[in-house]
Amino acid sequence: MSETPRSSDKTAALEADLRKALGGEVWFDRGSRVMYATDASQYRQVPIGVVVPRTSEEVEAAVACCRAHDAPVLMRGAATSLAGQGCNVAVIVDTSRHLNRIIEIDPTARLARVQPGVICDDLRNAAERHGLTFGPDPSTHASCTLGGMIGNNACGVHSLMAGKTVDNVEALDILTYDGTRLRVGPTEADALDRIIAEGGRRGDIYTGLRDLRDACADEVRRRFPDIPRRVSGYNLDQLLPENHFNVARALVGSEGTCAVVLEATVRLVPSAKASDVVLLGYPDVAAAGDHVPEVLAFGPSRLEGTADSLIENLTAKGLHPAGLKHWHEGRGWMMAEFGGDTRDDAREQAERLIAALAGRPSPPTMRLLDDPAQAAEVWAARESAVGASARLADGRDTWPGWEDAAVPPDRLGDYLRDFQRLLDTHGYRATLYGHFGQGCLHARIDFDMASAQGLRRYRHFVQAAADLVVSYGGSLTGEHGDGQARGELLERMFGPSLMKAFGRFKAVWDPDGRMNPGKLIDPLPLDTHLRQGADYRLPQWRTHFQFPQDQGSMARATARCVGVGKCRREQGGTMCPSYKVTCEERHTTRGRARLLAEMLDGQLPDGWRDESVKQALDLCLACKGCKRDCPAGVDIATYKAEFLSHYYEKRRRPRHAYAFGLIHRWARLGWRAAPA
């Protein structure tokens, strides 16, 4: 693990100016910084500081302070990114706590205006009152923010119906690092000429984008793969005349490397009133992939697939038993959902598929789930895949280093076979699942991220995997972005000419390179700034609890948290009551686990006496909600008991500890005094 610190004098001056400009929520203490040092990827970079602005004007003020001190900026939502774009040695601007307002919903125009910190499900629930929904819905839909979805060009299970985030953004209000504020969207030729003629910084930006479009249009048309899930690279195709020079959509998926999103206008689509699910079982996951075109012909609203490796791991961990009981014969499955205005409409579509497949040679096993509760159980099992497969039942850790490549859907079966051969050649095992209807395959792989030899194997594998995807006309990422994990591999997909064009695109917006540097463009090497790294050694601490499922190590127990952010949801479940009140990262299960992990790794020098850890744990109710709800099995109640036993060693505890801890004595005294 590594970081690149700024000089203490420069950092202190920056902090002072930010406090003057923003007020209270400016955090430069060590505890807050290490808590924000990772996202849901394998990377770790300790930020310079963290600010939590309350208004768009405070965002502008924060960026102005950073510009005055030449400090890089990273905009951050729920930080569930899997490619490292959510961590950096920068000033992190966290929009999730305050900038989370749905400004307007126009049901007639089917549009919504939102701030970047709005949670996906909050928008979907508000739109549902009008019979509408926001189409993209990744598995983190209960916690991810619209700003993060725009940054990563997020997709989700319903993108088969509604497209990626880029297809659902109509306009953006943005701020550049140099302080220019713009509203961008589609720009017809006469409007483009007028903007350029007006001059100024806005005119310069549009001139640069027009010149870039004219220079690379033919190469974009030739090299960009024509598939549903091309998420890699910048969206230069959105600048083409046939796409109406759509500057807003060109910025979608830029991962915070170009501009700050202050507000977004997004498209809403009609929501299905009812849905049925058909669960299809095949001999293996590649056979399931072979039949994707056949099932797509019946028009499902989502078509997901999974291999037996995920089901076996969920079963071994005892997760979602109600959902898993519906899985039947097979070693590979697809889940096809059909939506309609009525229950009969949905069932008719589902039964049409079942009847057609039943008449084919060697049909799959089929099960109709027309009970909404049953279908919800199945989808809950699928949505827990990232957290549940981060550590397998046999104790192996898996990582997202090659997480979500996408190929043409009609070639998915062959790609799955070739990908499995590549895994076998390199000696890796993987948990496979994904959005089969759009050819996107998720893979959690047991990479060795803690030795020099393991990192060499990892590098060789991802290079070979990138070449394999390109040979299929695919995209290195089909959902979660390039970040640091795939940034240096992009030339294999796009070639040197388009990589220069990508560099020019970033330079138009961010000529000084201060927006989320080292991600996507001029990326840091994919095997650096890791959570573990070649010199990593598992910390050994004396503890009271034995942690038998974590090799006897509390450090390994806290490392169960991989950052999927289910604990950041504000509705549903138990986890975590205190976060639902404060909405502060330090009170999430994730924030507490990370602080403890950093402490155990020696990053907080006060160890068991660290006050930032103590403060984060103070509001933990020890309700065990996290142990039940967290797909990775994080158990903050146990970790808190361990920490406090050391924190108060040879110290007097607070009065309430004696009041509750000695309740058996007070109860006995109360019983004796009862007659009085």
Mean pLDDT of 16-44: 95
Of 466 and 376, which is predicted with more confidence?
Answer: 466
Kindly tell me if the per-residue pLDDT of 654 is higher than 90: no
Mean pLDDT of 229-245: 97
Alpha helical stretches, state H, 37-85: 56-68
The mean of the pLDDT values for the chain is 94
In the prediction, which pLDDT does 599 show? Answer: 97
Q: Residue 376: CB partners within 8 Å, gap ≥ 6?
A: none
Q: Which residues of 199-231 are buried (b: 16+ CB within 10 A; e: fewer)?
A: eeebeebbbbbbebbeebbebbeebbbebbbbb
% residues pLDDT > 70 (the chain): 99
| pLDDT, tens only, 490-516 | 999 999 999 999 999 999 999 999 999
Kindly tell me if the per-residue pLDDT of 9 is higher than 90: no
Kindly tell me if the per-residue pLDDT of 356 is higher than 90: yes
- Model-wide pTM > 0.85: yes
Taking the mean position of all CA atoms in its chain, how far away is CA 272? 26
| pLDDT, tens only, 127-165 | 999 999 999 999 899 999 999 999 999 999 999 999 999
Torsion of CA 505, 511, 515, 516, to 10 degrees: 70
Of 78 and 669, which is predicted with more confidence?
Answer: 78
Mean pLDDT of 196-213: 98
Cis peptide bond prior to 576, omega within 30° of 0: yes
Kindly tell me if the per-residue pLDDT of 3 is higher than 60: no
Positive or negative, the CA dihedral 580, 583, 586, 591 is positive
pLDDT bucket at 5, cuts 50 / 70 / 90? low
Whole-angstrom distance, CA of residue 635 vs CA of residue 630: 8
In the prediction, which pLDDT does 288 show? Answer: 97
* 126: number of Cβ within 10 Å: 18
Burial class (CB in 10 A: 0-12, 13-18, 19+), 626: buried
**Structure tokens given for 588:** 């999430």
With contact defined as beta carbons under 8 Å apart, do 150 and 169 qualify? yes
| pLDDT, tens only, 578-616 | 999 999 999 999 999 999 999 999 999 999 999 999 999
In the structure, how many helices (H) and strands (E) does the chain have? 27, 17
